[in-house]
A = this chain, B = another copy of it.
Amino acid sequence: MVKTMDLGLPNFEDVKIAKERISGLVKKTPVMSSSFINSLAGCEIFFKCENFQKVGAFKYRGATNAVLALSDEEAKNGVATHSSGNHAQALALAAKMRGIKAYIVMPNNSPSVKKEAVAGYGADIIFCEPTLAARESTLNELVEKTSAAFIHPYNNFNVICGQASAAYELIEEIENLDIVTCPVGGGGLLSGTCISTKGLLPNAKVIAAEPEAADDAKRSFEIGEIVPSINPKTICDGLLTSLGELNFKIISSNCDRIITANDDEIITAMKLIWERMKIIVEPSSAVTLAVILKNPDIYKDKRVGVILSGGNVDLTKIYW
């Protein structure tokens, strides 16, 4: 088992430190709006465009903060993680920026475009069988051998603080938001969004959006303990994982609600964003707008901040 130092739960002060630490290294992404989508939704939506973030996703914030928070001693043997998605690229680039090694454990069936992206940032890729058990044992062996610092994709104090900086910037830029909405998978973005929102705007609500076919976070939230996500089938490939322990604790006490949308609704919302805003978002990002459009009773006339989490899609595929 890989050990990590117990830092307790991150709070608003920790987020401020993280935001300061990564400022100038992560992109301050723009906030965009569409009058057409606003009139359709009956509310004012402010989209924080993390699809424009480095590596195409908010994940670069958390990875950068986690890599920079390491002492020279902790950093000297590099960093390691298991991920086939945006966190892999994010950690690879963050390590490269600090000039340390990155070891990424990836399932051997990962799409070649993802392998190439990670290798392109100079990381070492270690392939494993595409199972959770193989992923964890391969990572454990790797960390034992290299003494690299393990940076979990979301269940990590400093990753959460980094992800929190997206909502922080949004709330600083757009006044008087009533609701902040973001997607939830492992809970890295959502737990960070909760800390920033409750710290800056105590009266605003945090509503998370989740694919109906991967609604483990909603069920965990309602039952009060982590329900694992077992083999979910949804187009939102970034939202398949179960909640992390740290993430769940923060979400339990700070998130106001988790609402689901089905894949058809998500694809409709995704197409609307592409068509009307001329920006590319991945399905995992569009679940937020899908939830807004199907719940006019909740969002009507509100000022809504939405974190568009990323834009890494397969451009040889038509989703609609």
Contact = CB atoms under 8 A, between A and B. Distances in A.
Interface in A37-80: 51-52, 56
Contact of A320 (B275, B281, B315, B318): B315
A274 B278 contact: no
A30 interface: yes
Nearest to A275: B315
A315 B279 contact: no
Interface string A4-30: 000000000000000000000000001
A85 B275 CA distance: 16
Contact of A279 (B275, B278, B320): B278
A316 interface: yes
Interface string A176-208: 000000000000000000000000000000000
A30 B29 CA distance: 11
A96 interface: no
A252 to B, nearest CB: 33
Contact of A274 (B32, B271, B280): B280
Contacts of A318: 315-316, 318
Contact of A278 (B271, B311, B316, B320): B311
Contacts of A51: 278
Contacts of A277: 52
B315 A274 contact: yes
Name, among A278, A311, A318, A320, the residue most crowded by chain B CB atoms within 10 Å (CB to CB): A278
Given A274-B280, A279-B280, A316 B311 contact: no
A89 B107 CA distance: 48
Contacts of A311: 278
A320 B30 CA distance: 28
A132 to B, nearest CB: 30
Contacts of A320: 315-316
Q: Which 10 pairs of residues, A with B, have the shortest CB-CB distance? A: A278-B311, A278-B280, A51-B278, A279-B279, A52-B278, A274-B315, A278-B279, A30-B30, A275-B315, A274-B280
Given A51-B278, A278-B281, A316-B320, 7 more contacts: A30-B30, A52-B277, A52-B278, A278-B280, A280-B280, A315-B320, A318-B318
Interface of A: 30, 32, 51-52, 56, 271, 274-275, 277-281, 311, 315-316, 318, 320
22 contacts: A30-B30, A32-B52, A51-B278, A52-B277, A52-B278, A56-B278, A271-B315, A274-B280, A274-B315, A275-B315, A278-B279, A278-B280, A278-B281, A278-B311, A279-B279, A279-B280, A280-B280, A315-B318, A315-B320, A316-B318, A316-B320, A318-B318
